[in-house]
Amino acid sequence: MRISDFSALTFDCYGTLVDWERGMLAALAPWLERSGLVLDKSVLLAAYGRHETVIQQEQPGLPYSDVVAKVLGRMANEFDKSASQEEMQGFGSSVGLWPPFPDSHDALAYLGQHFKLVAITNVDNASFARTHQLLGEPFHAIVTAEDVGSYKPALENFHFAFGRIAEFGIARDKILHVAQSLYHDVAPARELDLANVWVDRQTGRGTGMTPPTDAQPDLRVTSLEGLVAVHRAES
């Protein structure tokens, strides 16, 4: 597979372009301090992932910032602690402030010179608007879970994006999906016969917060900078 054979790159964002673990842990710090809860970060992130998946399945139309707020409430219950509405809302509103990975801005700027860039993200419009600014506003089109009314790995989110990309005159077989989550992105991409790249940001640490899957990517890199290097090597 040659990256340069494609015309559009679709991206997962949180976990792929944005260091959601670092952002999430920073946003949780005030609640952790107040509650006196001391947990290894891997335990905390795994709990977040479990509750997020359930809430998204229960309420697929709920904006992501509200999902994140509800996750804190359920985590508090799991660990026999409390979380106020203010703390929950503060955690939910932190999404758009989570920091990009160091290589994301420049890599997207480079790739945008060669491809149409499209975000397929599980967040809400308001949160992603802030994130898009942090990334340097590289995307030619954006598809959010709020737009579609469902969360990846739902196939509807990808079909919605295919429709947007068709407006650029780009056929589906010229789309390459780039993502960190095997569960949310690579597995549905395989189901759709959509070429894909796994950005293995979790190298040596398993699947992180996401549920396990046997899905295998077409190409693996360990950073967005690595994807740029592959494209440059083809030139």
**Residues classed as catalytic:** 12
State how far the Cα of 43 lies from the Cα of 40, in Å rounded to an integer. Answer: 5
